[in-house]
Amino acid sequence: MKTKNKFWVFALASLFGLIISITLVTYHLWGQLEPDQQTVMWQIIKGYTGYLFIILILASSGIGFVLDFMVNTYIIPLAKLVDEALVISTVNPSHRIKLEGAKNIVRLVEIINTNAERMQQSDSHEKKLIVKEKAQLEEEKNTLAAVISGLPEGVVICNVEGQILLYNKRARLLLSRNGQTDDDHHISARLLGLGRSVFGVVDKYLIIHALDEMTDAIEQKKENIIYQFIIPSVNNVLLRIQAIPILRDNREMYGFILVLYDITQIVRSAAKRDVFLESLTVMSRSSIGAIRAAIETMAAYPDMQALEQEHLQKVILDESVVLSRRLDRVEKKIRSSGESQWPLDNMRCSDLAEAVKKKAEEKLEVSIILEKGAEDMLIKGDHLALVYTICFLIAQLKETQGIERFVYRTQKDDRFLLIDLIWPGRVLSLETLRQWQSLELMIQGEGLPLPMKDVLERHGAEIWPQSESETESQTESGAKACLRLLFPSVSVATEKKRQWRPRISLENRPEFYDFDLFNQPGQIPDLDNLPLAQLRYTVFDTETTGLNPSGGDEIISVGALRIINNRLLHEEYFDQLVNPQRPLPPESIRFHGIQPEMLEGQPTIENVLPQFQRFAEDTVMVAHNAAFDMRMLQIKEAPTGIRFINPVLDTLLLSAVVHPSHTDHNIEDIAQRLGIRVVGRHTALGDAIATAEIFIKLIPLLEQKGIRTLKQARLSSKKTYYARLKY
């Protein structure tokens, strides 16, 4: 009932009550009057009935007007005020009340509006603060992730269940087979992945043991808890792993960090050295023992017979030869193992040259001309120490010989890398150079407090002066001198192995982390009722020899990526060519661009599918026109024994659900509709990426249609027309 009507019902009821009370009072008063008084009254009433009636009418309409005024200026505005104030305080803080009514009510409205204004202002200020804080947090998170991603050590962060929440590039390199998936001849599914179990890459019992040890240490209130162990990893790499617990304020462990170090080289060279030293001492002792015994015997018995003497001499000769050979061999081996305790790294000669030029020209006011040569070569060394060594030489040459112009040249032969400093003038004496070598590498208060000798020694380098004419035919007038630095050259094998460089770049936000996974509930048995945005997906595509799965067409390529927490993980992909063991129809090459020779030596489907199944474990599989790809996989069920039981979604069908009026649901058209740029189509991985991007955009559109769970998505797909297209 409306406020106004309510009020009038109340007003009429009150009036009715009033009339009844007046009647009762009048009746009672009438009974108490004397009969003659009653007669007089009756006569008066009868005589003035018209007047009395008029008074009654006037009185009741007066009351009516007052009441109406009250209703319109107080009652109704007050009721509206309540409603509108509620709107302000609940759904729409920007709402303002406009009311006419009594002065006090209008005043009240003004007060409420002013307060609302103030509230809104402080609210929006607070919101801005929150947004700012959030952005800051996000930035810090990204910085942290980027830094971790570029660390030279491998880092894997897990929750207590062993679920991987973050890992960096180095960890992937150390824990995944071949590091890269594009290696031609090996299958390399990445089993290191966000949300996956760490047990897939590190032995479960070692982790459990580490967790137990750490828990014990936490209970014993120990500080700086680190548990270390060593595991052999893929590619014959030996890893030292440090497990460090992540503790809450109450010292409860909610996760742990694994830091991975590649100790293969260290262990190998240490072991080699041990063996060398052992064999050297043992063999030397026995040989020298024999020589000594023989000589001592000869000395003790000068008059021994010629034959006996000859015997002993032969012993000495033989043992000396053995000793010489052994020394040669051991030394060669130690050299070839070549690992020094100093951290030497490969760098490009051109980088070194540029650094020397910059530093020398800035600090020493000399001019350096970099001569073209072998600057593409790598040099193994400590960058800073080498820069200072060469600058120090330049500084000394300037100071003692007054030389200000130098040519800097890098050359290479089979065994050595040569760095020459050339200047017009006399050749330096070795004596002077020897003195310089014992000086510390300080240039105008800056440098390394190490003698040059030590730096050269640790690089296995030599230095000497020579005349420039000894190396080049001299045509110009005036003699030229040269200081030559000689380094052992870096072999190509070690070059390749040591290519990896830490890169820290905040622009390249790593995709393979998700701190929100900390709050993941774990494995839920009933995927069907989970919202689409929370599920994990493997989006995949296959390239085939043709379009007829049951007619003998075979898979030649599988590409896949994963989506976790609504994010496409570009770094965790599966990309594998497959040898179809049948000829490739030439007309199909036009579609997939794969040449027959690219498939030679590739693994067969029997080897690829188990890897792919592990990659897709515990996820919903998504493909465009999934029926075709799933058919391809199903046909291989019998020969491989691999069965994909994952739930499946099809972007083609889902697109039809979202845009039923459109008839084109191929990848290009959908992508265009959804504003996605497609790159690298018609490769399995390229198509998988496009499909994944489409799928991510489809999820909110499905939600608008009321399709939120996996079950709803599956059922609505089923209903669409395209679902009837069966291969």
Catalytic residue among 95, 383, 659, 682: 682
Give the tokens for residue 503: 């890169």
Contacts of 163 (CB under 8 A, 6+ apart): 195, 196, 197, 198, 517, 520, 522
Tell the smallest beta-carbon distance from residue 585 to other proteins (Å): 58
> Between β-strands 416-424 and 567-577, what pairing exists: parallel, antiparallel or unpaired?
unpaired
Burial 202-211 (b: 16+ CB within 10 A, else e): beeebbeebb
Burial of 573 (0-12, 13-18, 19+ CB in 10 A): buried
Residue 242 vs 401, nearer CB to other proteins: 401
| Tokens 């009672």 sit on residue | 28
**CA-CA distance, 358 to 347, in Å (whole number)?**
17
264: which 2 tokens? 């293969």
| Closest approach of other proteins to the CB of residue 275, in Å | 20
Distance of closest approach, residue 240 Cβ to other proteins, in angstroms: 32
**Least Cβ distance, residue 298 to other proteins (angstroms):** 16
Smaller CB separation from other proteins, 424 or 465:
465
Told to judge if 682 belongs to the known catalytic residues of this protein, a careful annotator would answer: yes
Contacts of 403 (CB under 8 A, 6+ apart): 366, 397, 423, 425
Q: Answer whether 595's CB lies under 8 Å from 719's CB.
A: no
Q: Which residues bind other proteins (CB under 8 A)?
A: 320, 323-324, 327-328, 331, 335, 415-416, 429-431, 434, 460-462, 464-466, 470, 484, 486-488
Residue 440 CB, shortest distance to other proteins, in Å, is 21
User: Closest Cα partner for 388 from 431, 327, 449?
Assistant: 449
Q: Measured from the CB of residue 375, what is the shortest distance to other proteins in angstroms? A: 21
Q: Which is nearer to other proteins, 203 or 462 (CB)?
A: 462
* CB proximity list for 197: less than 8 A, separation 6 or greater: 161, 162, 163, 164
Is there a contact between 480 and 423 (Cβ–Cβ < 8 Å)? Answer: yes
For other proteins, give the closer residue by CB, 467 or 666. 467
Q: Which is nearer to other proteins, 425 or 465 (CB)?
A: 465
Distances (CA, A) of 188 to 539, 559, 577, 668, 726: 17, 12, 11, 30, 33
DSSP 470: G
Q: Which is nearer to other proteins, 390 or 653 (CB)?
A: 390
- The minimum distance between CB 486 and other proteins, in angstroms, equals 5
Q: Determine phi and psi for 50, rounding to 5 degrees.
A: -60, -45
CB nearer other proteins, residue 281 or residue 550? 281
Q: For 225, which DSSP code?
A: -
Report the catalytic residues: 682
